[in-house]
Chains A and B, each alone.
Chain A
């Protein structure tokens, strides 16, 4: 177990990324009770937005200088797609049968993947994402990739900003009211349509930042990257208690640690030697989901569905 700190760091990075993406699932679910299965693709679009910004910038621009532009472009692309999806795909179906928006979400997810595959230059294969020059950075006994450090700074900042927004601002409070009782929120004078758009926009922006982090960490992006990342983040949201923004972050971290530690160490458990290595990592993540759904279906921080009277 000599590389335990290494594995913990790995879990932390993965978890922060899952958590950032999970915010989008959980905020939208909390307000409109919709699982936006196209959210993984909104994440993917952010990656392509960032890459596009990098390609447009003059050759030789330092990544450190380009990064803010890339983040802005990623956020702009993801928010545009997220808000557009709400306005043109989901809103017309609101108030209809629950299955309709769910099927629409799956359709939208496929359409967005295929649109990038068909229309983004060379996107039929994975594309190289810019990397920070220089090797990993040593922090204590830990070796962290430079791209991972970006995520470890960005994720907590996003979470703190979101927590302050939700608890301290007028719009944040309106958001809480809308998620607890949309009809009554309208009676308070809250424009709930605008609150729903805001939830989609925040979720998309966080996914875009996660996508930049994903590109920096793995060095490449592709039109399919949203599928597994989205599924993992959805798992994180359910783990933490869907609808709860703190739950999403904690669910992400738990999932990231579980995945990293299981991948590294499960082969040392007697009788489990054939299950070691990265090929099994998704199995551990989804096994954890099944366990939580069996024993604590409302999620780690979820509340029992009650008090609507």
Chain B
């Protein structure tokens, strides 16, 4: 079986500065794959390129058997690739319910959309309680829940989460990590970008460590979690 997402020698440049310098990895259906690394390693750039917001300067991307190079962002969603962006990026002046509906923008099945909104409220009860409230009034953690719920509304084959734990309290972070685990148990395929390497690796089937635009180390989540150099560099141990 071919992988759901196949990235081959991907390069992305901002002007003359190459932020991603030829990386290759793949994601199989049902897996959680994580990209970890410090700020500026090129993780967010990679995700933004996969979802079509940035154009690659080299390499190939295949999703579900189809090439993604040159496909505009709004078409990539319809192929089943959803992206919950860094910094959550909820629509602050729309309500929670409207944000969720926008996640299902391309779907034409009102009954199914309504059912999935209810499912999002079950997954994140706080969203249901505040459904008529402007999304900008939510706390950071609640906004993260909304961003994840919104991304799920497109019924993606692959969910890309960029820094879901960023800026959250430890309790809220724990809650988000549990949710990612629940999503995996339900069979959702996830590409996770995180600075919190401990949390990301313990969830992931496979992990890749990125440093200044390159993948420097790959392995199973457990292997990386116990790798000496990873522990030193990313898990804050001497």
Contact = CB atoms under 8 A, between A and B. Distances in A.
Contacts of B45: none
Contacts of B87: 309
B154 interface: yes
Most buried by A among B82, B83, B85, B89: B89
A307 B101 CA distance: 21
B53 A186 contact: yes
A189 B106 contact: yes
A188 B53 contact: no
B91 A184 contact: yes
Contacts of A192: 74
Interface range for A:
20 to 34
Nearest to B48: A183
Contacts of B52: 186
A307 B91 CA distance: 9
Interface in B82-131: 82-83, 85, 87-89, 91-94, 98, 101-103, 105-106
Interface stretch (A50-58, A106-114, A170-178): A170-178
B102 A177 contact: yes
Which of under 10, 10 to 19, 20 to 34, or 35 or more describes the interface residues of B?
20 to 34
B73 A174 contact: no
A190 interface: yes
Main secondary structure on A side of the interface with B:
helix
Contact of A188 (B75, B88, B93, B103): B103
A299 to B, nearest CB: 16
Interface in A76-110: none
Contacts of B75: 189
B78 interface: yes
A217 to B, nearest CB: 36
Given A174-B105, A192-B74, A187 B51 contact: yes
B61 interface: no
Contacts of A174: 102, 105
A232 B71 CA distance: 42
Contacts of B98: 173
A183 B94 CA distance: 16
A33 interface: no
Nearest to A186: B73
A126 interface: no
A173 B93 CA distance: 11
A187 B74 CA distance: 6
A173 B52 CA distance: 22
A190 B93 contact: no
Contacts of B136: 307
Contacts of B82: 187
A170 B72 CA distance: 20
B77 interface: yes
Contacts of B77: 187-189
Nearest to B53: A183
A181 B52 CA distance: 16
B154 A173 contact: no
Contact of A189 (B53, B91, B154): B154
A180 B74 contact: no
Contact of A180 (B78, B88, B92, B101): B92
Interface string A29-72: 00000000000000000000000000000000000000000000
Given A173-B98, A189-B74, A192-B74, A184 B85 contact: yes
Contacts of A184: 85, 89, 91
A187 B73 contact: yes
Contact of A176 (B85, B89, B94): B94
Contacts of A308: 92
Nearest to A174: B105
Given A173-B98, A187-B73, A189-B74, A307 B105 contact: no
A189 B136 CA distance: 21
A26 B52 CA distance: 29
Contacts of A128: none
A191 interface: yes
A174 B83 CA distance: 17
Given A170-B105, A173-B98, A173-B101, A186 B74 contact: yes
Which of B51, B52, B83, B105 has the largest number of chain A CB atoms within 10 A? B105
16 contacts: A173-B102, A177-B102, A180-B91, A181-B91, A183-B85, A183-B89, A184-B85, A185-B102, A186-B74, A187-B77, A187-B82, A189-B77, A189-B78, A189-B106, A307-B93, A309-B88
Given A177-B91, A186-B52, 6 more contacts: A180-B94, A187-B85, A187-B151, A188-B102, A188-B150, A303-B93
Ordered nearest first, which 10 A-B pairs have the shortest CB separation?
A: A186-B73, A189-B77, A189-B106, A307-B92, A184-B89, A307-B136, A188-B105, A180-B91, A189-B105, A191-B74
Interface of B: 51-53, 72-75, 77-78, 82-83, 85, 87-89, 91-94, 98, 101-103, 105-106, 136, 150-151, 154
Interface of A: 170, 173-174, 176-177, 180-181, 183-192, 303, 307-309
